[in-house]
Copies of this chain bind each other. A is one copy, B any other.
Amino acid sequence: MRIGDVAQRTGVSTRALRYYEEQGLLGSERTSTGQRTYTESAVERVELIQQFFTAGVPSRTILQLLPCVDSGHASPEVFEILEEERRRITDAMADLAAARDALDRMIDITRNPTPEHCPSLR
């Protein structure tokens, strides 16, 4: 596959794919004329990378985690990173839940304006 094919199948821009390679996250073979060639597994890899990016894991951290995906083995340091990211994500979920609750309260108040809720009615 060429880069455009991977882009189309993953929904990730070619610019982003080159960026991933630049960051060491995604490998590719080259043709004799220098064009990138990808295997099928690259699609899966890109999807995993995307998932991490979406979760707020920075590229440098992903770079440390990916070898462990391939080898199935984690050094103690990598293991610590795994658990730390897990904690970070859990905390982020709690923050999101709190913000959503705040929005819910606002939605509720604006839907049922009552004197207790609404200073302007008092």
* A86, A106, A117: most-surrounded residue (chain B CB, <10 A): A106
Q: Which of A65-100 contact B (CB under 8 A)?
A: 65, 68-74, 78-79, 82-83, 85-86, 89-90, 92-93, 95-100
**Interface stretch of the complex, out of A3-11, A24-32, A47-55:** A47-55
Q: How far is the CB of A42 from chain B (nearest CB, A)?
A: 16
Question: Can you tell how many copies of this chain the complex includes?
Answer: 2
How many residues does chain A have at the interface if contact means C-beta atoms less than 8 Å apart?
A: 44
Q: Which residues of B contact A71 (CB under 8 A)?
A: 118-120
Q: How far is the CB of A69 from chain B (nearest CB, A)?
A: 7
Closest 3 CB pairs of A and B: A72-B118, A55-B99, A74-B110
